[in-house]
Amino acid sequence: MVRLVSLIPAQFPRPAKSNGSIIDPSLKVNSLVDSRSNFWNMDLLRELFDPEDVALISALPLGVSTKEDTLGWHYTKSGKYTVKSGYHTTRIEHLDASSKSFGPNIKPLKAYAWKVQCPPKLRHFLWQILSGCVPVTENLRKRDPLEVLRLAEKEAQSWQLAQNELHTDNYGFLDNENRNRVREISLESNYLGYRCFTDGSWKGTDTFSGTGWYCTSSNGEMPTMGAANIRRSLSPLHTEVEALLWAMKCMIGADNQDVAFFTDCSDLVKMVSSPTEWPAFSVYLEDFQSDREEFSSFSLSLIPRSANVKADKLARQVRTEPLHITYVNNIPQEWLF
């Protein structure tokens, strides 16, 4: 029952732009959803909103209508708040507010102050005058020394925490065991069951996202493959998740219960390993958990991009097709390669 406030997932969430129609200010999000299919009512979206915003709204995944909404942080790809993202967002908002201030723009003048042919101390003094930073009595009165020290200490702690989170984001998900496992997977040739390589392809200017998978069997069966283009997702990571989910459903449909899945997307591996850390993808992860139970043996492992060429090519090729295509077969088609 959420109102249409900040529905569009732009850099800073905003209301959807009207296409000229008069929009009821009390309109709720659930009014835009087809209750029978639990998908967006595309006819109504096109009737009310700008075409560009229709594409963004329709890319938002919808969960089960009976489930309560949960909170998420828009400014990280995982949907979980970090000190670093909060600091960055506040800084951008401050700069954006400053750029909208009235009066002449003195930024070029401040920049020119550093080019004046004079002693460095004088150049610095000129910049301070233009910036309002000269320590005159009025400015000094505004500063409580203890307050300045407390602020500096708080900023130092926040910065250190942000660096720790950044280090964890970049390196924490791969311990030595998993690093070794990735190398072994790319070289190992003997295995049991099925191997399914998945990939997604996304480009912000295209109509569709592309999803592809390539499956081999340990019993010598001919490899099977799948390629499908879907309405453009919100981001490359959303497409990677959708590619995995579609590959899983295809494996379930083929009654392949012992499957090892492979991806070259490290964020996807992190997401599956720690789903509670990725609230922005909770709708997808609910489907993932449900489908995962259909397998007697399931794993998802990270591989180098060079080991995922076939799935990548399938996803890239189908993304550029002008019409909707869903292809699943063991006979490769010329247009796919």
DSSP state letters, 259-318 = EEEEES-HHHHHHHH-GGG-GGGHHHHHHHHHHHTT-SEEEEEE--GGG-HHHHHHHHHH
Distance CA(177)–CA(194), nearest Å, equals 23
- What is the DSSP-derived secondary structure letter of residue 322? S
Domain at 190-336, CATH class: alpha beta
pTM score, two decimals?
Answer: 0.67
208-217 and 224-231 beta bridge pairing: antiparallel
* Amino acid at position 76, single letter: T
Contacts of 244 (CB under 8 A, 6+ apart): 198, 261, 263, 268, 288, 300
Q: With contact defined as beta carbons under 8 Å apart, do 250 and 226 qualify?
A: yes
pLDDT of residue 61: 81
Distance CA(83)–CA(235), nearest Å, equals 23
Give the DSSP letter string of 138-155.
Answer: HHHHT--HHHHHHHHHHH
Distance CA(118)–CA(112), nearest Å, equals 12
Distance CA(234)–CA(212), nearest Å, equals 18
SS3 (DSSP) at 66: coil
Distance CA(324)–CA(231), nearest Å, equals 9
pLDDT of residue 217: 93
Give the number of other Cβ atoms within 10 Å of residue 72's Cβ.
15
Sign of CA dihedral 16, 22, 24, 27: negative
pLDDT (tens digit, 0 to 9) for every residue of the chain, 337 residues total? 445 556 666 666 777 788 877 777 777 787 888 878 778 888 888 888 888 888 888 888 887 666 777 777 878 888 888 888 887 777 776 666 555 555 567 778 878 888 888 888 888 888 888 877 766 655 555 666 677 667 667 766 766 665 554 444 443 333 334 433 433 454 456 678 999 999 999 998 898 999 999 999 998 889 999 999 999 988 999 999 999 999 999 999 999 999 999 999 999 999 999 999 999 999 999 999 999 999 999 999 999 999 999 999 999 999 999 999 999 988 766 666 5
Q: What tokens does 14 get? A: 């905003």
Of the candidates 334, 270, 333, 256, the residue with the CA atom closest to the CA atom of residue 301: 270
Exposure string for 183-193, b = 16+ CB within 10 A, e = fewer: eebeeeeeeeb
pLDDT of residue 174: 37
pLDDT of residue 129: 80
| 173, containing H or E segment | none
* Amino acid at position 207, single letter: T
**Percent helix / strand / coil, the chain, rounded to 5:** 45, 15, 35
pLDDT of residue 171: 37
Q: What tokens does 271 get? A: 């997401």
Distance CA(330)–CA(311), nearest Å, equals 14
